Structure 1
Amino acid sequence: MKCSVKAPAKINLSLDAIRKREDGYHEVEMIMTTVDLADRIDLTSTEDGKINVEVSEGFVPSDQRNLAYQAAALLKEKYQVKQGVSIYITKRIPVAAGLAGGSSDAAATLKGLNTLWSLGLSMDELATLGAEIGSDVSFCVYGGTALATGRGEIIKHIDSPPPCWVILAKPPMGVSTADVYKRLKVDQIEHANTEKMIEAIKQQDFNAICANLHNVLETVTLDLHPDVRHIKEQMQRFGANGVLMSGSGPTVFGLVQKQSRLHRVYNGLRGFCTDVYAVRLIRS
């Protein structure tokens, strides 16, 4: 038995940290949406009971550190599954980029194994399991566009933004999400206006969406990594309608409605940045 599942990347249209929680996490409000840059997860059920992970990129761990491995192990343990699985991950999403690549791989593995192992779990049950693996996994199980609260695991679906192009640019570095949050001073930041962003999306007002893009983690990452600040400034200069860093970075995205402007921004960034992608929003 085999199956293949797409694992799409996400971007944050808005990311706010409200306070530091007693469990060490931050209470967050995030508006996330999926884009059509995706990894591919190929799953093959095996009779040996083992979990085996292979990844197309050699620098991505294929042991217990891999979130797809953790997803398979969680299902095996919780539902006493005797079968094993061979997982092959074809990476398209840059690693440690603020695009939830690992979380999306885990979510795709949960969904694929739910089918492959005939577990009969609902999407809500899979999302609850995903929260045990990582804060973004619950959202990635559902995809689409949503408001995520708590530590990111409480998901409320909202309307999709209007159709547009998304240009992603990642400098040649990874960023530790834990390190960025550790350096964040929630009492000294300008907080996002989450309600305004939700209303802009509801009204399908592209200009208002661009005007309300906000990520409180930028204050940390842009100071730590001047290359990220440079990419953001250049993306604005080349004419993207709205520009923001996704997650803890270092990927910066630009929203563009006109194809002529898309080419100008994309080609301008390709002049000095290797990892540049032009993708679309996935509308649910």
Structure 2
Amino acid sequence: MKTVLLLSTYPIASPRHGGQVRVANIAKTFGENGWSVTHLAVYEPEGYPPSSLGANDVSFPAGSPFRKYKGTYVPLINDLLSGEFAASEQGGFADILKKLPPVIDVIHVEQPWLWPLVLKIRQMPQHANACLIYGSQNIEAPLKQEILDSYAIKGAEPVIADIEALERKAALEADIAVAVTQADYDILQAWGRRNHCLPPMESRLGRRSRSCSPAGKSVCRSLRGFSMLPAPTRLISRASMSASAVHWRAYRRIANWWWSAVCVSTLRQRCVTVAGDN
């Protein structure tokens, strides 16, 4: 049985907000397809009660020196700061190390925040060949800019620059990058992802889409025998399902597709960008 290490900055034992629901669905999809799933969250304890935590979750304490950005307290950026904390021997890495499975075939990280931890784990000889999946829920830098602006946080330009640099790094270094909209996919491509593929899938309006680079087409051909994505059909009725249900049903389909990509990662034809309907 293959093992996937699934990383996020929030627990998923009792999923409530959108990010938790998304990661819980990813974990479920991997499990349903025969994978052993270890989920590990580096979380803010002030935001999640003990009853919502999983066995492998690691706290990013409010009093940690890693809660400072370059020596200064900046509000609303603990997600960015969590990566340095998680990857540091003086931060949470010792606790994280105790919770890692002995064998890791795939490391899937949601959002770019824990990318420093991903690279730290991949440096370990026993995990050097793990396939890296970057799940891009959003393009984070402009969203963070909007949040900081709405709270009138001044002098945030270095923070936004660091977030964009981290996003680009994750998108370019991952073996498989996953976007949830065509617009996000286009941005990842503009950043320099050379091998990319948008698998055929029908949107909520019933339109099919596919776009591939030459290298992406080669990977798609290698995946055909493994693909679990059902033939495009009309996915939902807007009148009968809520917007959140629409999102996760559509996301589940693309999750099945990139699970197939992981199955054949040993072909070493990696560095794929996958985009799914949002």
The verdict on a shared fold, with TM-score over 0.5 as the criterion, is no
* Larger RCO: 1 or 2 (CA < 8 Å, sep 6+): 1
Q: TM-score, normalised by structure 2?
A: 0.30
TM-score, structure 1 as length reference: 0.30
Q: Comparing both structures, which one devotes a greater share of its residues to strand?
A: 1
